[in-house]
Amino acid sequence: MIKLLKNNITAHISLSENEVEAFCNLFEQMLIPKKSFLLKEGEVCKFEGFVTKGLFRVFHIDKNGNEQILYFAMENWWITDIDSFTNEKPSQLFIEALEDSEVFVISKTDKEFAYTNLPKIEKLFRVMTQKTHVALQRRMINNLSKTAEDRYLEFAQRYPQLIQRLSNIQVAAYLGITNVFLSNIRKKIALKK
């Protein structure tokens, strides 16, 4: 599974075989059983991770006990609480495995070591940060300007392999709507076909 990480790295930046190997050696493999947490609210996030198997959800629970899903991470996606990781402060997020999962994690110390000793790695994380900002910006604009039905249709079109692995409740929490409202949207769409 480390091959998936190597392929992801070389898809973003050009490194020699030795540089890729040196960077990958800084990661630790973690096997996370379904319904187990990689991170809980209140803990300091000490990793950035790369998912090689399985599926995670990154979420927050508001003061009313409602779950708000920020994003999902499946194979070939990166995962962390960037605020907690960068600023070394307690997380406001939970990261839970929705399936039996495998993730390769790197610590802040090892990431800094890579920046110093493998300078091209900084470009890798800069590119990933830019992609994350673009995705978050698009999501914010969609949440402000599109209907729930339009957001659902776009999510289903953009991530067809992901939506099949999620429950209605999880999709609804991501879209910021109730499960009942999502069911009504799906029925309405089915009637149009």
Is the torsion defined by CA of 30, 159, 20, 58 positive or negative?
negative
Cα separation, 92 vs 6, in Å, equals: 30
Residue 161's Cβ-count burial label (10 Å; 0-12, 13-18, 19+) is exposed
Q: What is the pLDDT of residue 190?
A: 83
Q: What is the mean pLDDT of residues 18-42?
A: 96
Range from 34-38, 121-125, 145-149 that averages highest in pLDDT = 34-38
**In 3D, which of 94, 122, 113 has the Cα closest to residue 22?**
113
Q: What is the pLDDT of residue 143?
A: 87
DSSP state of 193: -
pTM of the full predicted structure? 0.90
Identify the bridge partners of residue 56 per DSSP, sorted by sequence position.
Answer: 73, 97
What is the secondary structure of 97-124 as a DSSP string? Answer: ESSSEEEEEE-HHHHHHHHHH-THHHHH
Least-confidence region, from 43-52, 97-106, 144-153: 144-153
Q: What is the mean pLDDT of residues 131-147?
A: 90
